[in-house]
Amino acid sequence: MGLFLLSFSDVPDLQGFLFGVFLIMYVIILMGNSLIIIMIKVDPSLQNPMYFFLGNFSSLEICYVSVTVPRLLVDLVRQSRNISFLGCATQMYFFLVLGVTECFLLTVMAYDRYVAICNPLLYPLIMNNRLCIQLAAGCWMTGVPVHIGFTYQIFSLPFCGSHQLNHFFCDVLPVLKLTCGDTFLIEVLIYVLTVLVITIPFILILASYVKIVSTILKLPSATGRAKAFSTCSSHLMVVALFFGSGIISYLRPKSSHSTGMDRFLSLFYTVVTPMFNPMIYCLRNKDFMVALRKFLLKWIVL
């Protein structure tokens, strides 16, 4: 006994097309983020805190999309889309933990930029190797214990009806619709956790960038201002894409939820945003592009 993922069964004629699209997007995500990780490991010019956190972020993106996309691809090519309660709970748990990790890691990356631009002389002292490792470890580990209890609470409720999950993975809100117990406490907990792990980090990031922009505008050199803006703009774009879709998904009123909109928003922050992240960070970063050219030239010569 378990749940049945309807996925995109409402568009049977597009199953093959959707499989091809999502497979291409998944490959782009894997290749783009893997390239970033490799470049940061092999190029000495990228051995600094900003790229250390970017390497962590790229590793996280690979894990994050791998929780949902491989299962989606399998469901698009087979008739049986059953998933056990344990399998569904496991997918939901890792999706939530990695999502929280991404929120916190983006916040830490904003703090890194804040220190680099607002306190450049103290930057090497503040953002030392020990602190960077501690911050990264904290981002990866913070959500682990919280979501064990949260996931257990959801799956301890009785499930009723057709057990048909009108979604392409075990997200919180679609699964909650299939339960028949009292969900008030869990719904309150969802809003509390959303505020703690999405809204507050988002506010901290915005506060950091208010100070960053204020500092950049005071720089005497136009070249310095342009360089500072270029290092921050890519991170700010990723923040807007990820947090924007997450806040709309989990904080909008229950009455405004619809299957089509929920699925679209989920696709946006689980597949589309991770696909664009490597492009945003690489194409808008001159230091990375220089390192990439050297790396490619080295391999071409060999």
Of all residues in the chain, the percent with pLDDT exceeding 90 is: 37
pLDDT, tens digit, for every residue of 124-156? 999 999 999 999 999 999 888 888 888 999 999
CATH number of the domain residue 250 falls in: 1.20.1070.10
Distance between first and last Cα of the chain? 56
The count of domains in the chain is: 1
Distances, alpha carbon 68 to alpha carbons 42, 64, 73, 80, 279, in Å: 30, 8, 9, 17, 21
Which amino acid makes up residue 188?
Answer: V
Strand runs (DSSP E) across the chain, as ranges? Answer: 2-5, 82-84, 164-165
Q: What's the pLDDT at 239? A: 86
Q: Helix, strand or coil for residue 252?
A: coil
| 298 — pLDDT class (breaks 50, 70, 90) | confident
Provide mean pLDDT across the span 186-212: 89
What is the C-alpha separation between 69 and 82, in angstroms, rounded? 16
| 259 — pLDDT class (breaks 50, 70, 90) | low
pLDDT, tens digit, for every residue of 17-38? 999 999 999 999 999 999 899 9
Structure token pair of residue 299: 């391999």
What is the C-alpha separation between 58 and 274, in angstroms, rounded? 9
Give the residue numbers spanning the domain of 205: 2-301
Q: Helix, strand or coil for residue 3?
A: strand
Q: Which of 72, 53, 50 is nearest to 61 (CA)?
A: 53
The radius of gyration of the chain's CA atoms, rounded to the nearest angstrom, is 21
Q: Is the pLDDT of residue 284 over 70?
A: no
pLDDT, tens digit, for every residue of 72-121? 999 888 867 889 999 999 999 999 999 999 999 999 999 999 999 899 89
Q: Which of 60, 72, 59 is nearest to 25 (CA)?
A: 72
Which amino acid makes up residue 197?
Answer: V
Please answer whether residues 79 and 5 qualify as being in contact, where contact means their C-beta atoms are separated by less than 8 angstroms. no
Is the pTM higher than 0.75? The answer reads yes
DSSP state of 11: -
